[in-house]
Chains A and B, each alone.
Chain A
């Protein structure tokens, strides 16, 4: 009788311990998930709070003017007093990224169509792997590649028009490099959204007498439209944020927007990165955070457009 009771007690305490253990473990896991989620807030908070410092009256150093920062067309940290204008850099960034997207987008979509619909199964697997590998190549390797080959090509190409370049470092080189770098992003998203297209739509189109390729172009691509454009927006986001590789071929122009593709350029990311090893804490350092805020804003706008396009996706492909 006594041993029975003891056993019962033992069981009960074991059960209690288990429940208690469950609670603790759950809290720990929940805590780590919340910590992970908070990081995005921390990033925004810390970058913004440091980046707005130079524009506040309390800044110990030369206080900067927000308006002339945002609209300025010169970036001359070497002058005395230094001039920081980010307006032309934003234009450069948007121009180069858009240029890359214009080159990369059609090629990506056609490749995605090939992978999803046209290719024989074995080639399909090979190409999927190739796109994944292209996505996995680190940006520094793309940078070395661009500095070694793309700049040479651009230089030769400019030579045809009798234009001399800065050793090939140019807006065009940046555009070509970014086009290569965002290709896997757009392609892989396009493949996913093309695969998600309802098979019955295709069959219906074929039953109505359209050929396979006509169906692919007019029915499949149209249905997968929203997903494909989400991929484009994601690719643009990558192009805006790409730093190391771009800074290896951009040049670093200090004045005005670059409209000539053979001229050197300067983007938001290269501005943050350039001269890092020779700068010390101070105005020049803090201004990099201010440029970071501008970059975040540009990307936020892109992200919002992704969300907007995503919401439109729902109807056709997700059924």
Chain B
């Protein structure tokens, strides 16, 4: 080989190495980005909190000053009110607003006896102030019997000043205004789980039985090849078209059940159709590796086709169906375009099957599409989605590897 050819060869090899390296770099950069940006916002509180902050205006009866003993270990950051038996700490929320949070309460603190003062069905009910409540305002009576306010809405910028004012001036506290922590994704997690459950409930029976028909029962004729071609075409349809189909066609079906809005049910029916090609392909691949001798043995022992399918083929294809399920879950978690149409973009803290809600992916879309994109929350949810999708896909890879090895031995 002369030098020119050798040099050319070197560049070609280097080209393939560089391209492969580039793809690794892209994956790493996606990971580094999502992890580094998402991990700072990600917390377990985020998973359990509601998205919408609720306001509570409470009346407090019997709020006279008393003498409480501060808890033994109070550090500098916590400010304890000896008169009313609770302590506050300073905090900053995700939008960088200052706030004060109830850190601890003595057992007899008047804060345990709040009564909801806002008009509504809950008015007059007892509502103890929970730990972690974001106190905005505390109404109190001073020594002259005048009503006064402390807290962020009463011109106190910090927990220290609020407590100091109460300790000096207040004779009794009469009311309290607080907000629950918002910005969480509890509702979206629940609706994602509902969506996954419902979709699998519809899609698995339909997909698996279709795959069994195509692989075990169907004669080799034109109808069968048409069915195969149609399902293959379905796999090439972009998800946003599934969304359009959902609101124009499946909407009529959900209307029959009296659901006239976008709903989780509509979303799951749309996802069902979307996942059919995936489930059918995965199941069929599992059926292909089941040796033909098993079927023949079953049939020759006098079992009917039905018995062979349910007792021999299905149990052996179970790992394949399992990997189809896991891949479906991963697709449902990641899907956004179709769900924006069928489930809507309104974040719901109490998702119901018959109402619109957001899955985790659509939650990202909603917080990013608003006037002020909440990038921190978006990356934190992305982190959650990415980790789940990766775990699911790697599990499927492991599963496939084990199935193939099982039948090779």
Contact = CB atoms under 8 A, between A and B. Distances in A.
Nearest to A15: B304
Contact of A114 (B19, B205, B340): B19
Given A144-B379, A147-B368, A134 B207 contact: no
B361 A140 contact: yes
B206 A35 contact: yes
B404 interface: no
B253 to A, nearest CB: 11
Contact of A216 (B12, B34, B226): B12
A36 B233 CA distance: 11
Interface in B212-252: 212-214, 217-218, 226-227, 230-231, 233-234, 236-242, 244-245, 248-249
B336 A115 contact: no
A37 B223 CA distance: 10
A180 B239 CA distance: 18
Contact of A18 (B304, B330, B364): B304
A18 B27 contact: no
Interface string B304-346: 1111010000000000000000000010011111001100111
A19 B303 CA distance: 11
- Chain B at the A interface: mostly helix, strand, loop or mixed? helix
A248 B385 contact: no
Contacts of A37: 226-227, 230-231
Contacts of B9: 211-214
B252 to A, nearest CB: 9
Given A36-B207, A148-B33, A18 B306 contact: yes
Contact of A118 (B8, B17, B379, B397): B17
Given A130-B27, A273-B337, A138 B245 contact: no
Contacts of B108: none
B3 interface: no
A287 to B, nearest CB: 12
Nearest to A123: B20
A240 B206 contact: no
B378 interface: yes
Contacts of A147: 368, 373, 375
B306 A248 contact: no
Contacts of B207: 36
A21 B361 contact: no
A299 B227 CA distance: 20
B306 A115 contact: no
B15 A110 contact: yes
Interface in B18-37: 18-20, 22-24, 26-27, 29-30, 33-34, 37
Interface in B281-323: 304-307, 309
Nearest to B346: A277
A117 to B, nearest CB: 8
A140 B364 contact: yes
Contact of B13 (A50, A118, A242, A303): A118
B210 A36 contact: yes
B23 A187 contact: yes
Given A138-B335, A140-B336, A276-B341, A42 B249 contact: yes
A138 B237 contact: no
A233 B78 CA distance: 63
B121 interface: no
Given A19-B304, A47-B248, A292 B241 contact: yes
Contact of B5 (A114, A211, A238, A269): A211
Contacts of A115: 20
A182 to B, nearest CB: 12
A33 B214 CA distance: 7
Interface string A36-79: 11111111001101100000000000000000000000000000
A194 B137 CA distance: 70
A141 B236 contact: no
A261 to B, nearest CB: 20
Given A39-B234, A110-B15, A213-B12, A127 B20 contact: yes
Those 5 A-B pairs whose CB atoms lie nearest each other, nearest first: A241-B238, A138-B334, A110-B19, A37-B230, A29-B213
19 contacts: A21-B304, A22-B304, A26-B217, A29-B209, A33-B218, A36-B210, A40-B234, A43-B273, A50-B244, A110-B18, A119-B20, A132-B393, A138-B333, A138-B334, A140-B382, A144-B382, A148-B37, A149-B29, A214-B8
Interface of A: 18-19, 21-22, 25-26, 28-30, 32-43, 46-47, 49-50, 106-108, 110-111, 113-115, 118-119, 127, 129-134, 136-145, 147-149, 180, 183, 187, 211-214, 216-217, 234, 237-238, 240-244, 248, 269, 272-273, 276-277, 288-289, 292, 295-296, 299, 303
Interface of B: 1, 5, 8-9, 12-13, 15-20, 22-24, 26-27, 29-30, 33-34, 37, 205-207, 209-210, 212-214, 217-218, 226-227, 230-231, 233-234, 236-242, 244-245, 248-249, 273, 276, 280, 304-307, 309, 330, 333-337, 340-341, 344-346, 361, 364-366, 368-369, 373, 375, 378-379, 382, 385-386, 389-390, 393-394, 397
